[in-house]
Structure 1
Amino acid sequence: MILVTGATGTVGRALIDQLLSAGERVRATSRHPATAHLPADVEVVEADLGNPTQTAAAMRDVDRVFLLSTGPAIPEHDAVVTRAAAEAGIARLVKLSSGRTGDDTATDPIPTWHRAGEQSVRTAGVPWTIVRPLGFMSNALHWAGSIRAHGAVYAPYGQGRIAVIDPRDIAAVAKVALTTDGHDGQVYTLSGPQALSPGEQTAVLGAVLGRQLEFIEVAPEQARQAILDHGVPTELADAIMALRATALEAFTSVVHDTVARLTGTPPRTFEQWAADHAIEFHSTAA
């Protein structure tokens, strides 16, 4: 059985679907199982990754683990999960990290949190694989409201480019690492097929939606305030803004062949992702 943490997010949910399609038995953790809305074939258990007792219970009868944790608690949660995995005799653990963790010059919060988590993974005594995507295509969903209301995308760092990847392709690599041999001790950096700026992503979305969309670059301070206005804590808002600023650096624009090499299928384009999510950007969307 495979335990999937972070099961209700974009990557975790896609991974569950792919594992079920491959005939794997899946258990998922959720802090709120009643509202997880996962497939009926998934065994959903209540577990907060900061709770060692709940996490250890979730490991029973499991032989492989997908570790996905987020936010400032990444170091703590990864340490709890990896200790429980070692005590349970887990045969294989795959951690979803951040592409920026591989940039030695990156000292901003998110790669720093993930480096601490990776260290727990490496030293737990459990065979491990680390997956590092550079950026998610699904982050464009944050623009859906302004596209529906104003036909515009407001974002900072307009000249920055990131080789964003479809979460389903991240999940496909994780599935390979969980279900096939030869990945122990490997670190896989993942990207989509092309580095795109926010303006270029806006143009693609407009073409897919059949609408003329406008990209408006905003000051970082304005973008940070918008995040805070959505109720995001200050520490996390600052981490998000620091991550956004890295789009200006060359590291995040490098295209990697990892997805095609490991899965045998080229990574999806941003246009394909946009077409699959078009309903969420239309003015009639809920």
Structure 2
Amino acid sequence: MILVTGATGTVGRALVDQLVTAGAPVRALTRRPATAALPDAVDVVAGDLNDRASIAAALAGVDRVFLLSTGPQIPVHDANLLHEATRAEVTHVVKLSSARTADATATDPIPTWHRHGEESLRASGLDWTILAPLGFMANALHWANTIRDQNTVYAPYASGRIAAIDENDIAAVAATVLTTPGHHSQTYLLSGPEPLTPADMTATLADTLAKPLRFVEVDPATAHRTLLSHGVPPRMADAIMALRATATESFTSAIHPTVRELTGTAPNTFRQWATRHLADFG
């Protein structure tokens, strides 16, 4: 049995669907089972990574775990899950992390939070694998409202290029790692097939949606205020802006062959991702 945390999120849901298609037994941990809308084949259980008792119950009969945690509580959530996974004699934990944790100079919040989680994982005594994407194509969904209302994408750091990856490709790698041998004590850097600027992505979205879109660069302070106005907590808004600033580094534009090497299939382009998400922008 494979336990998937974050099972109703972008990557988690894609992984659940792929594991079900492959015939693997799947249990999904979610705070709100009644609204999870997961496939009938999935064992959906209530739980919270802040609550060790609920984690322990969810791990009954589980031998493999996909660990997806987000935000400032990553170190605590990861430690809670790993504590209970050790007690439950789980055989393998796959953690979704950040590619920047390996860079000691990356001291901004998100890689720092994940770095603590990775340290707990390596110290747990469990077999482990770390998946470390450079960036997520799904972050473009944050532009959906202004695309619908103003035919405009607003973003800072216009010169920054990120070889972002499709959530389906992250899920495909995770499914491979969870269901085949040979991945213990490995960290896999994950990228898409092309480094793109926000303007590049805007042009692709315009072509895919068949309507004109304009790209407007905004200064970081304005972008930060926008996050706060949308209800993002200040600590998380600071972390997001620090992460966005790294798009100007060469590290984020590197192409890694990991998806093809592990799955046998080339990673999706941003155009393929955008075509699949047309309804989200329309």
- With the shorter chain as reference, the TM-score category is over 0.9
For the pair 1:208 / 2:208, whether they are aligned, the reply is yes
Equivalent pair of 1:94/1:131 in contact (CA under 8 Å): yes
Partner of 2:186: 186
- What residue identity is the alignment partner of 1:96? L
Structure-2 separation of matches of 1:49 and 1:138:
23
Stretch of structure 1 that moved more, 153-162 or 30-39: 30-39
The gaps in structure 2 that reach 5 residues or longer are none
Structure-2 separation of matches of 1:18 and 1:79:
27
Structure-1 separation of matches of 2:95 and 2:274:
27
Structure-1 separation of matches of 2:279 and 2:36:
22
Structure-1 separation of matches of 2:238 and 2:27:
34
- Give, in angstroms, the shift of residue 151 of structure 1: 0.6
Stretch of structure 1 that moved more, 96-105 or 189-198: 96-105
Equivalent pair of 1:103/1:251 in contact (CA under 8 Å): no
Q: 1:41-91 CA deviation, whole Å, 9 max, x = no partner?
A: 111111110111111111000010000000000000000001111111111
Structure-2 separation of matches of 1:49 and 1:55:
7
Structure-2 separation of matches of 1:25 and 1:161:
38
Structure-1 separation of matches of 2:247 and 2:209:
25
SS in 2 for 1:3: strand
- What residue identity is the alignment partner of 1:89? E
For the pair 1:278 / 2:278, whether they are aligned, the reply is yes
Q: 1:134-172 CA deviation, whole Å, 9 max, x = no partner?
A: 100010010011011111100000000000000000011
- Give, in angstroms, the shift of residue 102 of structure 1: 2.3
Count of paired positions = 282
- Give, in angstroms, the shift of residue 104 of structure 1: 2.3
Structure-1 separation of matches of 2:19 and 2:53:
26
Partner of 1:134: 134
- Give, in angstroms, the shift of residue 205 of structure 1: 0.5
Partner of 2:42: 42
Structure-2 separation of matches of 1:264 and 1:28:
27
Equivalent pair of 1:161/1:196 in contact (CA under 8 Å): yes
Partner of 2:240: 240
Structure-2 separation of matches of 1:161 and 1:104:
21
Partner of 2:217: 217
SS in 1 for 2:41: coil
For the pair 1:25 / 2:25, whether they are aligned, the reply is yes
- Give, in angstroms, the shift of residue 281 of structure 1: 1.2
Calculate percent identity across the aligned residue pairs: 61
Partner of 1:79: 79
Structure-2 separation of matches of 1:198 and 1:99:
20
Structure-1 separation of matches of 2:254 and 2:271:
19
- Give, in angstroms, the shift of residue 39 of structure 1: 1.1
The TM-score, its normalising length taken from structure 1, stands at 0.98
Q: 1:251-272 CA deviation, whole Å, 9 max, x = no partner?
A: 1110100000000000000000
- Give, in angstroms, the shift of residue 211 of structure 1: 1.1
SS in 2 for 1:37: coil
Partner of 1:68: 68
CA RMSD of aligned residues (A): 0.6
Partner of 1:146: 146
Partner of 1:257: 257
The TM-score, its normalising length taken from structure 2, stands at 0.99
**Deviation beyond 3 Å, 4+ runs, structure 1:** none
SS in 2 for 1:216: strand
- What residue identity is the alignment partner of 2:205? L
SS in 2 for 1:131: strand
Partner of 1:173: 173
Q: 1:203-251 CA deviation, whole Å, 9 max, x = no partner?
A: 0101111111100000101100110011111000000000000001111
